[in-house]
Amino acid sequence: MTERPQTQQVEEPVIGICAVYERARWSFWDQQAHLVADSYVSSVQRTGAIALLLPVDSRAPEALLDRIDGLLLIGGADIDPAMYGAERDPATEATYPDRDRFELALLGGALERGLPVLAICRGMQLLNVALGGTLLQDLTGPDGSNLHRRALGSFEGTEHEVRLEPGSLAARASGEEVHVARCHHHQAIDVVGEGLVVSGRAADGLPEAIETSGGSWVLGVQWHPEADERSRVFAAFADAARAQAGLRTKGPDLTPRAEPAI
């Protein structure tokens, strides 16, 4: 009886989520903590991928990168302006340089390895800074209003249209060229980093999506797809990580090469 060849199963992808590192209070405790909102975790898990929380670690990131198939940079505190060579504006809010340095090192390694990257809100800004870009430190108008952060800690009333470049990674991941997004930010991209292109803008012209120009699966979105269960962005990201997991499972091609004829 002829045995059927066994097919090699691809593991579900592991997506590393960079954790917030701030002081937090829960139950009876008030102390430093590594935190990730469940909205990010559940958005990854719904795709079938495995969510792995990455705490801030001052050591080299290679060991962490060896264990993941995709990197997720999430929202949170402002980036220290020193990271992009700027003076601190009084409107810049609390910053956490340890987190900044860790995420920049991890992101740099992920880009070198060609890992899929999804960078959300602060994450998109960090992606821009990592590649030499700068940020506008405050979007608040003279009257105190900010259309991109109407209420602290809430996405209510922030829905707005983002126009995505046809054929861009942002449009393919979203499944549409006009996307209704939810946002919560008071900073934004100013000078675009090297090798990045703006692939989505809000009606006021503000960059809402960036991606690398070389064709890698590296996408930054200023909006929050984890706040919208209808969003297709996480599924597209997980598919890219799944393909990366397949490459990792397959391993290098060690087939002996034929000697060239003389």
| C-alpha to C-alpha distance for 51 and 35, rounded to whole angstroms | 13
| C-alpha to C-alpha distance for 179 and 63, rounded to whole angstroms | 37
Please state, as a whole number, how many other Cβ atoms lie within 10 Å of the Cβ of residue 4: 6
Active site residues: 121, 224, 226
- Which two structure tokens, joined as six digits, stand for 46? 């719904």
| C-alpha to C-alpha distance for 170 and 179, rounded to whole angstroms | 10
- Which two structure tokens, joined as six digits, stand for 82? 């020193």
Instruction: Name 220's bridge partners.
Output: 119, 210
3-class DSSP string for 199-233: EEEECCCCEEEEEECCCCCEEEECCCHHHCCCCCH
| C-alpha to C-alpha distance for 109 and 71, rounded to whole angstroms | 10
- E-strand ranges in the chain read 14-18, 20-26, 29-35, 50-54, 70-73, 117-120, 135-136, 160-164, 178-181, 188-189, 196-202, 207-212, 218-221
